[in-house]
Amino acid sequence: MAQTRNDDTAILERTPAVPPLRDDDGAIAPEFLRAVEQALRNDEVDTLKLLVGELHEADLADVIELLDHDDRLRLIRLLGRQFDVEALSELDEPVRDELIDALPAHIIARAVRKLETDDAAWLLEELPEQEKREILARVPTADRIAVERALHYDEDSAGRHMQSVFVAVPEYWNVGKVIDYLRTEDDLPDEFFEIYVVDPRFHVRGTVRTARLLRTPREKPITDIMEQPPAVFNVHDDIENVARQFEHYNLVSAPVVDDSGRLVGSLYIDDIVDVLEEEAAEDMLGMHGVREEEIHDSVLDITRARFVWLFINLGTAVLASWVISWFDATIQQMVALAILMPIVASMGGNAGTQTMAVTVRALATNEMGRANFWRVVWRETAVGLLNGLLFAIIMGLFTWWWFGSDQLALIIAVAMVVNLLCAALAGILIPIALEKAGADPALASTIFVTTVTDVVGFFAFLGLAAWWLGTG
C-alpha cells in the first residue's frame, strides 16, 4: 500500500500544473497560451493533451486563433484523433479558410461527419468544387446528401441554416406510440425541444413540446395536445427575417418546409442567436464605414475595405469645405464665425446620428412600416425642432457672453434650429430612402447624414451671417 502511494505521488509530481484558461476579463490568459506554445515547440504531446485535449470546442477555437499558422497545424497534428474537429466551426472565417486549405481531406471529412448540417456547410462553402467532392466522398451517404442540399441554398437563407435531423411523427399516433418511438429509434437528434406532427404528405399539422408529451396519458391522441406553430419557414426565407420572427415569438425551434410545403428541416435558437449577433455587429460596424472584417484579416484586406468609405468621406468633407469657401469674405470680416461654425455642424451631426441609429434599428426589426411612417417622421421632426430651440437658447446666451454680440448670438441661434431640424429629417429619411433603393441603410447612412448636417450647418450659419452683416 505504501508503494502505491509513492507511485501516485511520483505521477502527480511529474504532471505539470495547468494554468487558468482565462483571465479576469474572460480572455485567454497569456500564461495558458505560453504553456501551449511551449508544449508545441517541445513536441510535448501529453502536456498538450492535458492543456487543450478536454477543452470545449469554442475555447479550443479561441486558443487556435491566437496561435500562428505553423503552430495551429502542429497542434492539430500532435493531438491526432483527440483534436475536437467541431472547433473548426467556431473559428473566424480567415482562420477557418487558412486551416481548411492546409488540412488533409480526411480531417475535414471527420469534421463534416461530426458537425451539424449548417456548420458542415459553412465549413465547406468556400472550397473549390473538386475539393468539396473529394471531402464529401468520405462522408456517409445520408450526411453527404444533407450537406449538399444545404450548400444548394443561398447562404443567407433558412435552408442553409436549418438542421436536416428532426423528430416527426404521424398524426394518427397516440402519446404512448410517440414515447415508444423516441425510446427505441436510434436515428434521432441528440437534443430536440419539439416534435412535429405531420400528415401523409409530410406537411406540418402541429407541434408538441416534449415536456407536455411526457405529462400526458399514453392513450391520448397526439393531435389532441399539438399546437399550431407560430411560424413555419420556407427554405428560401431570408435568415434575418427568420431571426426577427424567432425573437418576436420567443421561439426555441421552428419547422422549415420546401416549396411544396413538405417538412425538410428544423431551425434552432442556438443558430438564430448567431444570426442576431452577426446582424447587430454588422449594423454597428456599418454605421462607421466598416464591414465584414475579422480581427485576423490581413493589413491589405482591411485597408482595401476601409479605403472606399474613407475616400467617399473625403469627398463629402471637400464639399463642406467648398461651401465654407463661398463665405470667405464674411469669415475674414468676423473671425468669431470661424470659431463658432464647427459647433453648429457638430451638433447637427450628433443629432442626425442619434435619429439615424433609431431609424436603422427600427428598420432592422420591422418596427417601422407604412402604418406608422408619418407618425415616426412627425415625432422625430418635433424632437429635432425642440432640441434646436433649446440649444439655440443655450448657444445664443453663450455667444453673447463670449463675444458680446447680440447679432452673432441671434445668427447662431437661428442656424442651430435650422440644422437640428434638418438633421432630424435627414436621420430618418435617408435610411428609409436607402432601404427603398436596395442599399444597406446601416452601411451608407452615416456618410450621407453627416454630409447633410455639415453642408446645411455651414450654409445656414455663414449664409445668415453674410445676409445679416451685408457682406454676401
Angle 159-163-169 from CA coordinates, rounded to 5°: 110
Indicate the pairing of strand 233-234 with strand 253-257.
parallel
Q: Determine what percent of the chain is predicted with pLDDT higher than 70.
A: 84
- Round to whole Å and give the CA distance between 157 and 125: 14
Long-range contacts of 343-346 (CB under 8 A, 24+ apart): 343/395, 343/412, 344/412, 344/415, 344/416, 344/419, 344/457, 344/458, 344/460, 344/461, 345/320, 345/419, 345/453, 345/454, 345/457, 345/458
Split at pLDDT 50, 70, 90, the class of 40 is very high
Average pLDDT over residues 273-289: 66
| 209 phi, psi to nearest 5 deg | -75, 140
Quote the mean pLDDT of the chain: 83
**pLDDT tens, residue by residue, 147-157:** 889 889 998 89
Please tell me the predicted confidence (pLDDT) of residue 12: 40
Average pLDDT over residues 265-269: 92
Beta carbons within 10 angstroms of residue 300's beta carbon? 8
**pLDDT tens, residue by residue, 209-243:** 999 999 999 999 999 999 999 999 999 999 988 98
Cβ(91)–Cβ(61) below 8 Å: yes
| Helix axes 69-79 and 93-102, enclosed angle (nearest 10) | 60
From the list 312, 314, 275, 310, the residue with the least C-alpha distance to 290 is 310
pLDDT at 170 over 90: yes
Q: Tell how far CA 377 is from the center of its chain.
A: 28
Please tell me the predicted confidence (pLDDT) of residue 236: 95
Average pLDDT over residues 415-441: 83
pLDDT at 406 over 90: no
Beta carbons within 10 angstroms of residue 21's beta carbon? 18
pLDDT at 68 over 60: yes
pLDDT at 201 over 90: yes
pLDDT at 287 over 80: no
pLDDT at 11 over 90: no
Indicate the pairing of strand 168-170 with strand 194-198.
parallel
CATH number for the segment(s) 299-469: 1.10.357.20
Cell numbers 488533409 label which residue? Answer: 104
Q: Which helix (H) or strand (E) holds 198?
A: strand 194-198
Cβ(460)–Cβ(467) below 8 Å: no
Q: Determine what percent of the chain is predicted with pLDDT higher than 90.
A: 28
Average pLDDT over residues 250-267: 94
From the list 151, 185, 148, 153, the residue with the least C-alpha distance to 166 is 185
Tell me whether domains 168-268 and 299-469 share a fold. no
Q: Which of 131-135, 192-196, 281-285 has the weakest average pLDDT?
A: 281-285
Residue burial 42-80, b: 16+ Cβ < 10 Å; e: rest:
eebbebbbbbbeeeebebbbbbbbbbeeebbebbbebbe
2-154: in CATH 1.25.60.10 = yes
Please tell me the predicted confidence (pLDDT) of residue 242: 92
The three-state secondary structure class of 169 is strand
**pLDDT tens, residue by residue, 320-373:** 677 777 777 666 656 777 777 788 888 877 888 888 877 877 776 667 777 778
Give whole-number Cα distances, 424 to 81, 285, 293, 446, 452, in Å.
59, 22, 30, 13, 11
Domain boundaries, the chain: 2-154, 168-268, 299-469
pLDDT at 471 over 60: no
The three-state secondary structure class of 142 is helix
Residue burial 199-225, b: 16+ Cβ < 10 Å; e: rest:
eeebebbbbbbeeebeebeeeeebeeb
Cβ(446)–Cβ(289) below 8 Å: yes
Please tell me the predicted confidence (pLDDT) of residue 284: 59
Task: Select, from the ranges 68-72, 233-237, 278-282, 378-382, the one with the highest average predicted confidence (pLDDT).
Answer: 233-237
Please tell me the predicted confidence (pLDDT) of residue 171: 95
Split at pLDDT 50, 70, 90, the class of 292 is low
- CATH architecture assigned to 168-268: Roll (3.10)
Cβ(432)–Cβ(359) below 8 Å: yes
Half-sphere exposure of 188 (CA within 13 A, CB side): 19
Higher pLDDT pick, 283 / 117: 117
From the list 220, 228, 176, the residue with the least C-alpha distance to 197 is 228
Please tell me the predicted confidence (pLDDT) of residue 219: 95
